[in-house]
Amino acid sequence: MTFFNVEKIRKEFPILGQEVRSGVPLVYLDSTATAQKPAVVIDAMDNYYRTTNANIHRGVHYLAEKATSEYEAARLKIANFINANKPREIIYTRNTTESINLVAQSWGRSFLKQGDLIILTEMEHHSNLVPWHMLAQEKDLRLEFIPVTEDGELDQVVYDRLLDEGPKLVAFSHMSNVLGTINPAQEIVRKAKLAGAVTLIDGAQSVPHFDVSVKELGVDFLAFSAHKMVGPTGIGVLWGREELLNAMPPFLGGGDMIKKVLLRSFIPNELPYKFEAGTPAIAEAIGFGAAIDFLNSVGMDNIATHEHALVQSALIKLKTIPSLQVLGENAVNRGGVVSFTLAGIHPHDVAQILDQYGIAIRAGHHCAMPLHDKYGIPASSRASFYLYNTEAEVDHLVETLHKVTEMFA
Amino acid sequence: MTFFNVEKIRKEFPILGQEVRSGVPLVYLDSTATAQKPAVVIDAMDNYYRTTNANIHRGVHYLAEKATSEYEAARLKIANFINANKPREIIYTRNTTESINLVAQSWGRSFLKQGDLIILTEMEHHSNLVPWHMLAQEKDLRLEFIPVTEDGELDQVVYDRLLDEGPKLVAFSHMSNVLGTINPAQEIVRKAKLAGAVTLIDGAQSVPHFDVSVKELGVDFLAFSAHKMVGPTGIGVLWGREELLNAMPPFLGGGDMIKKVLLRSFIPNELPYKFEAGTPAIAEAIGFGAAIDFLNSVGMDNIATHEHALVQSALIKLKTIPSLQVLGENAVNRGGVVSFTLAGIHPHDVAQILDQYGIAIRAGHHCAMPLHDKYGIPASSRASFYLYNTEAEVDHLVETLHKVTEMFA
Amino acid sequence: MDDLYREVIIEHYKNPSYRGSLDPHDISFEDENPLCGDHIRVDLRIDANGIVTEAAFDGHGCAISQASADLLLESIIGKSVDQVKQLKKGDVMDLLGIELGPVRLKCALLPLKILKAGVYGLGEATDDLVEAE
Amino acid sequence: MDDLYREVIIEHYKNPSYRGSLDPHDISFEDENPLCGDHIRVDLRIDANGIVTEAAFDGHGCAISQASADLLLESIIGKSVDQVKQLKKGDVMDLLGIELGPVRLKCALLPLKILKAGVYGLGEATDDLVEAE
Ligand SMILES: Cc1ncc(COP(=O)(O)O)c(C=O)c1O
Ligand SMILES: Cc1ncc(COP(=O)(O)O)c(C=O)c1O
């Protein structure tokens, strides 16, 4: 375990030294929406554009070869990061959302048929709902949902019952972006496999925050986004088992994803290129590789431990605000996210007043409307923590929330 | 017309000052694959990550609002750049390829039916072929092709005949990335409209190189990529007429593209968000905006004039190499691209030897296999010019090609 | 301190003068901002000369949207329907007297959007109704 | 000057010793590199002891792929099929004696890929056959 020094880490992130308004330093508690970037990531892309920029794969000149090998080196880093067997199982996409759509449209459209059952959960992000809504409508599929209990966990009893109905796919988020609940992914996958279902994990909130191994999970597909793990916008990953990816038809058509093109037909390329049509996000892949290096240098276990400490302390301190209600407060296993409501005060007002004090939190449905419907609320406020947040920031949050309640008293 | 000084322009592009190997300066003649980036573009993204980075649309804190407004400001710049009516007609995608796939999968899948005719051309890039292959296979559509004449132009006689068959879509590239031919887009669109067809222009090679106005063209869809117009990788645009975009179903499902999500259904968002699922390429949009500013400051007419001069001079000087054959040499209207073959020498060998002299060109099928099939060759060598290239570079190219022919003599 | 939450906003939010409903009414329209769940219904009574004589709103949402509704209705009593149709973003911003980012702007403009969709007799409250022309 | 195009490569490209075809043959396999259109067919004769006695290639493509084919066939005459199955990327690179970027590497390795697919009796020449294990 490497030594973890949050003040040293903060220095690596240029934005964190900034004042939002004169005299008001930034307190960034919105990493669940997107993470901040360390200088090494920003510089990797800057450097790429200043010294290496070229289109990849098809080029035989110096820059093209250098760009290609850096682009592919990043793929290997990502494969190792999630303990994948082969870099060719790493498909670059734009984000988690596109990764899940790729599975829905390529795998789902080919392998699911009328009446087939997909199991999702009530705590899903819209990214792991709407692609299935679209597919279900097109192919007349059935969607069922593992309910969320009062404690903010998945109801395993109902899940077991749903498994009896012979699902073809079980797709769920590893960690809720609203409740912070870390779901027992390995167990969910194990049961799904026994029931003969293919499994997909929305890893948008897990891969950035703790060690995730696709081998240990036993899952078939894993989706995540670079921008939530100190990497750039514009790039995400779909990891899939090679056999499954090989059996799937292409998703988008165009350059690079083909082996051969005739006027009226084409032969798709090998993995991973089959799924990477057109000029990809080259600089972003290289930035993503730098982000992986950075996270590895800090250590994913250190990050998870740090966040755990912050969120536990936040949960205790937030109890000093009587009108504050945490969503899914009692989840046993939770990551660095706290969503809450303040009686009589709309989350947008909370977020805006906190912003006056330099504190950036999210307010809204956090792209999880069905979960908010379940709680009978249209919106909540959400504070989230990452490797660069401090105990002092937690205190600042709690103090300022006290002020908010006073303003509206 | 602003004053055009190529040496001054070159200074804005950090990579152009570089040596490929010690003593061998870079001569970048591969802008058709991807363009180099001026410092202002690189810095815009760098600055975004250092001072502004946040997720957009849903945030009420300072950074989120700043990021959102910069992201949307770029959309407006792009809309103005192509003379679009409204910024909401600008859909951010990953690249030209995704833009065309979006039209194929959303518009095409909804509005085309068995037996419908799509007219393409023999000079299309795979990006404007394979999406239609995929759709044609799925929906049993007919594909017909406007032939390329000996001179490298589209055969208007055959086009007229094909129009009699009542096409539903005419999709073609504004400028060929192999031949350099600039097609008479306004005329092609006018005829297609008369025949009742929807029209799509692949603007990957036109929007970066000369002034393109969707209003003047009268077209329905226009696709292009930032990375080919001194902007970043990872972002492209689909422009579409508002009525058409409104009538189309969503493409990918997820966050941001929805108005409302229930457990089993959703209501799509308004334009342009309906087509932008998940966290978009935020930094890239801002970089794209900076690229547009840069191109505007140079002046698109200046760029076109400069490239025209370079390519005309290249065509003349290349004639000094007897074994060299230019593809589509006699096209009347052509942009800054020259593809050629050297008798008995494979393009890959040509490119690799030129690379030894610091000259970066492309060798291969340039994602236009059917066009190469038509010429009966598997591959060609391609030199392409952009605003930062010089007459001296043209000379260097021609001299070095002489050396190549001697090596193989 | 909190300029953004001028006392007038919190005051109109906590103690609105126009909250309620009108039955019968001449115009009634409701809609919501899906981004935050703010929901507002506006009821109007219009006299023979096309003058707004009474107005009421109901709904739930943030202080900005609710205060904006209350202030907006206060401002239109006695105005003609034609005048209401002319109302713009700037008018609402003047009533609120604060600066707002893009997301909160949607909250602030929701009541005006609904009001205008109502008086124009549209089926839908679109952003076009309140965007700067 | 042009290290990359050592004379030996241009020589083997211009004057190959093993260009042709074998009829009859014991093994014949052909494939292409779609990236550049390089196409190669390899014919082999194998004796009762599993030794390669004769070899020929035909096809078209760049100097690298054609010279690589010629050099490769030269190197396997007299070798056993089992030895041919063991050939790796490094062996080809030693024969060529130059460094290559990823795209040209595919040209250089195409003959080996085809040769191995042939001796293994596979229907397809995949990259796995020549990637460093
Ligand atoms: C004419 C044409 N169309 C489409 C494309 C595809 O562009 P992208 O790879 O950015 O999707 C290109 C670029 O190679 C092109 O030249
Ligand atoms: C659990 C979860 N899934 C999916 C997503 C979507 O990620 P992206 O917007 O990068 O596609 C998010 C991020 O908001 C998330 O938290």
- Taking residue A205's Cβ as centre, other Cβ atoms within 10 Å add up to 29
Does residue D62 form part of some domain? yes
Q: Please, what is the average pLDDT of chain A? A: 96
The rounded distance, in Å, linking the Cα atoms of B329 and A124 is: 57
Taking 80 as the threshold, does the pLDDT of residue A2 lie above it? no
Kindly report the CATH number assigned to the domain that includes residue C36: 3.90.1010.10
User: What are the residues facing A236 on neighbouring strands?
Assistant: A93, A225
| Ligand 1 interacting residues, C-beta cut-off 6 A | A 254-255, 278-279; B 95-97, 125, 127-128, 173, 177, 202, 204-205, 225, 236, 367
Q: Please, what is the average pLDDT of chain B? A: 96
- Closest residue in B to D13 (Cα) is B408
Task: Tell me the pLDDT band of D132, cut-offs 50, 70 and 90.
Answer: low
The rounded distance, in Å, linking the Cα atoms of A212 and A222 is: 10
- Judging contacts by C-beta atoms under 8 Å, the chain C residues touching residue A348 are 36, 62, 64, 103-104, 107
The closest alpha carbon to B306, from B391, B248, B194, B220, belongs to B391
User: Looking at ligand 1, which atom is closest to the CA of residue B127?
Assistant: 4
| Extents of the domains making up chain B | 6-30+299-407, 43-296
Q: Which ligand is nearest to the CA of B123?
A: 1
- A73-121 pLDDT, tens digit each: 999 999 999 999 999 999 999 999 999 999 999 999 999 999 999 999 9
Does residue C45 form part of some domain? yes
CA distances from B403 to B20, B353, B354, B395 (A): 19, 9, 9, 13
The strand pair at D52-60 and D38-46 is best described as antiparallel
Q: Do D15 and D6 touch, CB atoms closer than 8 A? A: no
Taking 70 as the threshold, does the pLDDT of residue A20 lie above it? yes
- B139-193 pLDDT, tens digit each: 999 999 999 999 999 999 999 999 999 999 999 999 999 999 999 999 999 999 9
Catalytic residue among B79, B367, B379, B387: B367
Q: Do B68 and B59 touch, CB atoms closer than 8 A? A: yes
- Taking residue B204's Cβ as centre, other Cβ atoms within 10 Å add up to 30
- C89-123 pLDDT, tens digit each: 999 999 998 888 878 888 999 999 999 999 998 87
Q: Check whether the bond before B272 is cis (ω within 30° of 0).
A: yes
CATH of domain A43-296: 3.40.640.10
Taking 80 as the threshold, does the pLDDT of residue C133 lie above it? no
**Is B259 in Cβ contact with C104 (below 8 Å)?**
no
Longest dimension (CA), chain A: 71
The rounded distance, in Å, linking the Cα atoms of A108 and A112 is: 5
- B314-325 pLDDT, tens digit each: 999 999 999 999
Does residue D131 form part of some domain? no
B174/chain A closest Cα distance in angstroms: 17
CA distances from C68 to A24, A96, C74, C89 (A): 28, 37, 10, 11
**Residue C7, domain extent:** 2-121
3-state secondary structure C74-121: HHHCCCEHHHHHHCCHHHHHHHHCCCCCHHHHHHHHHHHHHHHHHHHC
Phi, psi of A332 (to 5 degrees): -70, -45
The rounded distance, in Å, linking the Cα atoms of C73 and C57 is: 8
pLDDT higher at C38 or A227 = A227
The closest alpha carbon to D120, from D82, D64, D92, belongs to D82
Taking 70 as the threshold, does the pLDDT of residue B296 lie above it? yes
CA distances from B106 to A134, B110, B246, B290 (A): 12, 6, 11, 30
User: Looking at ligand 1, which atom is closest to the CA of residue B175?
Assistant: 1
The rounded distance, in Å, linking the Cα atoms of A378 and A347 is: 9
The rounded distance, in Å, linking the Cα atoms of A32 and A228 is: 7
A204 lines ligand 2 (CB under 6 A): yes
- C82-97 pLDDT, tens digit each: 999 999 999 999 999 8
Does residue C22 form part of some domain? yes
Q: Which ligand is nearest to the CA of A279?
A: 1
Does residue C130 form part of some domain? no
Q: Do A266 and B129 touch, CB atoms closer than 8 A? A: yes
Opening angle at CA D120, ends D118 and D122, nearest 5: 70
Q: What is the mean pLDDT of residues B377-391?
A: 96
The closest alpha carbon to B279, from B95, B59, B62, B45, belongs to B59
The closest alpha carbon to A216, from A85, A73, A78, A118, belongs to A85
Q: Do A306 and A91 touch, CB atoms closer than 8 A? A: no
- C27-81 pLDDT, tens digit each: 999 998 877 778 999 999 999 999 999 999 999 889 999 999 999 999 999 999 9
Q: Which two tokens stand for residue B229?
A: 């117009």
The rounded distance, in Å, linking the Cα atoms of A332 and B128 is: 52
Sheet containing D38-46: order of strands: D27-33, D38-46, D52-60
Sign of CA dihedral A253, A256, A260, A264: positive
User: What are the residues facing A364 on neighbouring strands?
Assistant: A380
The total of structural domains in chain C comes to 1
Catalytic residue among A367, A383, A387, A401: A367
- Taking residue C3's Cβ as centre, other Cβ atoms within 10 Å add up to 9
Task: Tell me the pLDDT band of D133, cut-offs 50, 70 and 90.
Answer: very low
The rounded distance, in Å, linking the Cα atoms of A20 and A359 is: 9
User: What are the residues facing B145 on neighbouring strands?
Assistant: B120
Taking 50 as the threshold, does the pLDDT of residue D1 lie above it? no
Q: Strand runs (DSSP E) across A255-365, as ranges?
A: 258-261, 266-268, 324-326, 337-342, 359-360, 362-364
Opening angle at CA A59, ends A56 and A61, nearest 5: 115
Does residue C40 form part of some domain? yes
Does residue D76 form part of some domain? yes
The closest alpha carbon to A360, from B52, B335, D117, B181, belongs to B52
Burial zone of A249 (CB within 10 Å; 0-12 exposed, 13-18 middle, 19+ buried): middle
Does residue D129 form part of some domain? no
The rounded distance, in Å, linking the Cα atoms of A354 and B55 is: 17
Name every residue in D having a CB less than 8 A away from some CB of A.
34-35, 101-104, 126-127
- Judging contacts by C-beta atoms under 8 Å, the chain B residues touching residue C34 are 258-260, 267
Q: Which two tokens stand for residue B10?
A: 């070159």
Sign of CA dihedral A138, A139, A140, A141: negative
Q: Which two tokens stand for residue B31?
A: 């802008």
The neighbours of chain C, by the rule of 3 or more Cβ pairs under 8 Å, are A, B
Task: Tell me the pLDDT band of D111, cut-offs 50, 70 and 90.
Answer: very high
- B71-115 pLDDT, tens digit each: 999 999 999 999 999 999 999 999 999 999 999 999 999 999 999
Taking 70 as the threshold, does the pLDDT of residue D3 lie above it? no
- Closest residue in D to A57 (Cα) is D103
Q: Out of B60, B259, B267, whose CB is closest to C103?
A: B60
Helices (H), A185-224: 185-194, 214-217
Q: Distance, CA B236 to ligand 1 centroid (Å)?
A: 10
Q: Do B118 and B171 touch, CB atoms closer than 8 A? A: yes
CATH of domain B6-30+299-407: 3.90.1150.10
Q: Which two tokens stand for residue C86?
A: 């002319």
Residue that has been written with the tokens 């009533």 in this structure: C95
